Amino acid sequence: MNNGFVRVAAAIPELRVADCAFNVARITDLVRKGEDEKVQVICFPELSITAYTCADLFFQQQLLIDAEKSLHELQMLTFSTTATIIVGMPIRAQSQLFNAAVVLQGGHILGVVPKTHLPNNNEFYEKRWFSSAADSTTQSILLAGEEVPFGTNLLFSDGKFSFGIELCEDLWVPIPPSSQHALHGADVIFNLSATNELIGKHLYLRQLIEQQSARCIAGYVYSSAGAGESTTDVVYAGNGLIAENGKLIATSERFSFDPQLIISDIDIERLQADRLRNTNYLNDKSSQTYRTVKLEDAHFTRFDLKRTFDKHPFVPPITTREESCHEIFSIQVGGLAKRWKHTHAETVVIGISGGLDSTLALLVAVKTADKLGYDRKRIIGITMPGFGTTDRTYNNAVNLMKSLGITMLEISIKDACLQHFSDIAHDPNQHDVTYENTQARERTQILMDIANKHNGLVIGTGDLSELALGWATYNGDHMSMYAVNSGVPKTLVRYLVSFAAHQLDSTSETILRDVLDTPVSPELLPADENGDIAQKTEDIVGPYELHDFYLYYFIRFGFSPAKILFLAKNAFAGIYTDEIIEKWLKIFLRRFFAQQFKRSCIPDGPKVGSINLSPRGDWRMPSDAIVFTLEN
């Protein structure tokens, strides 16, 4: 494997009905192409050596002899190739004929998997020609002069990943064989198929494959017969589909007359990580005994991936973004509404800085008040200008609170901080961590005391990305009474604010647009000579889009730093150099481990996605753990 990836292919060869020699020649062409592409397993369609639509010709001795002779040619081919090949053909055994998949590698026939569920409807009459695997009692058959394993209980493994096989109709039944294969350890399922086309059937097929790959937490490779089949009564489009745990990652061109090799890379480590976390994913304890057939490792340890990875894994795709943003707001509002009602608080109190995070928290509070039928004046927004506050953020904070109709307070922290500097004998011209954290803690003290005064709850504004990096002052902005943004990463905050902007009046929308364009900053250091923000967070801790990418794969799948680096280089190629990506990954790891003590005592807050850092839920980590490194 290459960094946990296995390269697979769904092959759609040019075929002629009942012409085994021609078919094997075309299969050979795609095998050689796959070899050039470093494919490790290539799956061909159902009955691909003979073609699927031979009908009563399957009873002809000559066709069966030709099929076995052609299989032997493929067997000889595999002496000079490294890929594992899966082809379909009719197999004679125990005076029965089976529709079967044959697995070849390294000059050997490794095993034969017969089809279990045979269609017998208006379009297909397989029961006329073939027996079901359920009717077979043999564990091995003689094929091309070799005694080879035979049955549906075969798994093929090289020690790093395993795969199982089912054929066409097997997928469409209530409990597909692939479900058992996965529970017995198959990471990838290969399906040799011959699915005809009907109106609406293709969409249903895609959904079926996505759902089965998700249920099995597996890769799924589907190769179906193409245009070379007989069109006497039905038409075949050549569906090649590759899915990974609920998501299609590669598809063929339908109705093409050209041969196709659909290639992608399945992340076996990702699948295994999901299975490890799913305590309901148990090894099957049924009486069925599985047999493992050993594969030789293809030894393709390095290749450029055939797939790309989303730079922003937390951000919903554009097709569902509006729906997802609405749902996220609903979760945040639902959490705050319950807490507000449960505590019988008269008000909620929020520090408004004019930045993205406090803006999102304010929008959640406003939506919550509206949902509960509360007067928006019960929301107390406080802007607290300090030594680094710029006119831009100050004006945006003030104007936004006015436009949303909440109670607004302005309390400068400058005098209080200067008094504190005097009390602790700190030079206010020394702009160090004490200088910065004094301001953050002063603001938190004001928020807490105002909440006490007005029977209120302090709403936290910090987001998931800041929690991951520890980018918060301990017992300063680190603390609140309910943290509505704690499950929202920085890359997603921007989309949520933009989504909300469309739903507000024109004045509020204009303000939000400027907030979106403002650099991310805690504004704890004085502005530059032009009065602009001098302290920009991403200049200090690095690009949030990189850190969110690292966070997603580190927490969601438990990937090693080396694997995360590999994925990041793929996702951000041409945007950041490899050196920059590695630099910020090292900083992410160092900060993530060093700042766990802050996450160990964070306030309650709603989880909105697949990742959360609450010590009471998703993430429980000792504060004294040694940091992982790229060299580990």
Q: Which CATH number characterizes residue 497's domain? A: 3.40.50.620
Do 245 and 362 fall into the same domain? Answer: no
The reported pLDDT for the residue numbered 217 is 97
> Is residue 601 annotated as a catalytic residue, yes or no?
no
Lowest-confidence range among 161-175, 238-252, 299-313, 545-559?
Answer: 299-313
Does the residue 604 lie in any domain? no
Do 176 and 62 fall into the same domain? Answer: yes
21: left (phi over 0), alpha (psi -120 to 50) or beta: alpha
Cα distances (angstroms) measured from residue 320 to each of 98, 176, 242, 329, 545: 45, 30, 22, 14, 20
Q: In what order do the strands lie in the sheet with 219-224?
A: 247-251, 240-244, 219-224, 188-193, 162-167, 154-157, 291-294
- pLDDT tens digits, one per residue of 158-217: 999 999 999 999 999 999 999 999 999 999 999 999 998 889 999 999 999 999 999 999
Do 90 and 163 fall into the same domain? Answer: yes
Instruction: Identify the band that residue 123 occupies on the pLDDT scale cut at 50, 70 and 90.
Output: low
Q: Are 446 and 409 in contact (CB under 8 A)?
A: no
Q: pTM here?
A: 0.91
Structure tokens belonging to residue 596: 């766990």
Do 256 and 370 fall into the same domain? Answer: no
Name 263's bridge partners: 9
Does the residue 219 lie in any domain? yes
* Domain membership of residue 40 as a residue range: 5-294
Do 282 and 377 fall into the same domain? Answer: no
Do 19 and 157 fall into the same domain? Answer: yes
The reported pLDDT for the residue numbered 505 is 87
- pLDDT tens digits, one per residue of 224-249: 999 889 988 889 999 999 999 999 99
> Is residue 168 annotated as a catalytic residue, yes or no?
yes
Do 260 and 351 fall into the same domain? Answer: no
Give the residue carrying structure tokens 């054929």: 167
Do 278 and 243 fall into the same domain? Answer: yes
> Is residue 54 annotated as a catalytic residue, yes or no?
no
Does the residue 630 lie in any domain? no
Does the residue 452 lie in any domain? yes
Do 275 and 384 fall into the same domain? Answer: no
Do 160 and 116 fall into the same domain? Answer: yes
Does the residue 309 lie in any domain? no
Does the residue 252 lie in any domain? yes
Catalytic residue among 43, 168, 216, 325: 168
Structure tokens belonging to residue 6: 């296995």
- pLDDT tens digits, one per residue of 73-94: 999 999 999 999 999 999 999 8
Cα distances (angstroms) measured from residue 300 to each of 38, 41, 82, 295: 6, 12, 9, 14
Do 334 and 394 fall into the same domain? Answer: yes
Catalytic residue among 46, 229, 269, 466: 46
Give the residue carrying structure tokens 């799924």: 220
Percent of the chain topping pLDDT 90:
85
Catalytic residue among 14, 43, 115, 306: 115
Does the residue 44 lie in any domain? yes
Does the residue 606 lie in any domain? no
Number of independent structural domains in the chain: 2
Do 462 and 329 fall into the same domain? Answer: yes
Q: Which CATH number characterizes residue 192's domain? A: 3.60.110.10
